[in-house]
Amino acid sequence: MATQSDKWKLLQELDEATFRTDVLLPLLKRMGYYDVRERHGPDEYGKDITFREVSPLGDNYYAVIVKVGDISGAARGKKNLDAVQSQINMAFSMPIEDIEAKKKHDVNHVIVWTTGKISNNAQRRIMENKAREYRNIDFKDGQATIELLEKFYPAFFTIRDPYVCDYYAGAKEFYSRLEELRALGYSSERHRLPVIFVPPTLRLYGELPKRFGGRHKKVRYTFDDVLRENRNTLIIGDAGSGKSTMLRRMLLKIIEENEQALRRTPIPILVECKKVDFDDPNGLLKALNKEFLRFDAKGLAQELGTDLEDGSIIVLLDALDELRTQDRITQAIERIKGFNLRYPNYTFAVFDF
């Protein structure tokens, strides 16, 4: 668990671009604001980020001036303070242009937001300089940022990837629910999969390699053994034996361990075979990306290939035997083999066969 000192140190190590994109943009979205946009650039007239607050009395439009480090009113901080005041002038004087809606919106509120500290002297000088013209100016320093992150975006202090955080949160909520219990009159909210799951024991199927003497030894695998196998695995069992449930629990367990270890990967993605277009050579890759994006995540399309090549993706395929014909199953297996040749480092678990 990161301490307050660790969190403060992490903020101080960020450059301005990273602070905007990895901290403030996802944070403001999680706080419930609308139209959160990065506006940084010479044509944005002082506005680094803009967003909209919905109000019964009318929407309010905000501009954020983003800085890193301390903002001081002392002589040594005069250059930084002058830059902030200049940006405030421009942010208020130039409206936000909504190109899609072909509208312009006046800025109602400006927030000066930094990773460091903002001295009282700096705040007072800004407010006194702008008091007659602009009254809606707020200040957010590093400590306020930490408090907001702890409340709305705590995963920033663990895996630090907003897209993967979204995926993990959505996948955990979806796969923890057992909708099948409703048919039995039980609540899927009270009886979550991680609580009621009983780990199965599996045994090796078929003849063993010669290095084991060629005899059919009763080698048994626990749930954790399969989780740590780190190689392509085919699990075979009768219908209703719990293979799909085990697959879901595997996904949840991997996410739980990642979050506890404060790491981003390996990223488990579960795909039903019937949702994969095996006629398409890239069908499996497309299905993986679609599954990731299903949980309100964005950005994996650009990163998926790299993560697969690095061995950072665990692909979990469900219900291979539910493909309509043996020819379709054979085709799927050939596509899986081709995928494995293209990305030899990822871990594959094929269930329900």
Identify the structural domains of the chain with CATH numbers, from first to last: 4-152 (3.40.1350), 163-350 (3.40.50.300)
What pLDDT does 60 receive?
A: 93
Rounded to two decimals, the pTM is 0.70
Burial code of 295-324, b = ≥16 C-beta within 10 A, e = fewer?
eebeebeebbeebbeeebbbbbbbbbeebe
What pLDDT does 317 receive?
A: 94
Task: Report the interhelical angle of 283-293 vs 300-309 (nearest 10°).
Answer: 120
Distances 242 to 198, 236, 326 between C-alpha atoms, Å: 10, 10, 23
Distances 275 to 4, 34, 283, 286 between C-alpha atoms, Å: 45, 33, 9, 10
Distance CA(350)–CA(229), nearest Å, equals 13
Token reading at 203: 């045994």
What pLDDT does 148 receive?
A: 97
Run of H or E including 307 = helix 300-309
Per-residue pLDDT of the chain (353 residues; tens, 9 = 90+): 678 998 999 999 999 999 999 899 999 999 999 999 998 776 677 899 999 999 888 899 999 999 999 998 765 555 578 888 889 989 998 898 876 767 899 999 999 999 999 999 888 888 876 545 556 899 999 999 999 999 998 888 888 787 788 889 889 989 998 766 555 555 555 678 888 888 888 887 765 555 445 555 567 888 888 888 877 888 888 877 888 899 999 999 999 999 888 888 899 999 999 999 999 999 999 999 899 888 866 655 567 777 888 888 999 999 888 888 899 999 999 999 999 899 888 777 776 66
Token reading at 312: 């950072």
What pLDDT does 184 receive?
A: 54
Run of H or E including 174 = helix 162-176
What pLDDT does 211 receive?
A: 46
What pLDDT does 50 receive?
A: 95
What pLDDT does 212 receive?
A: 44
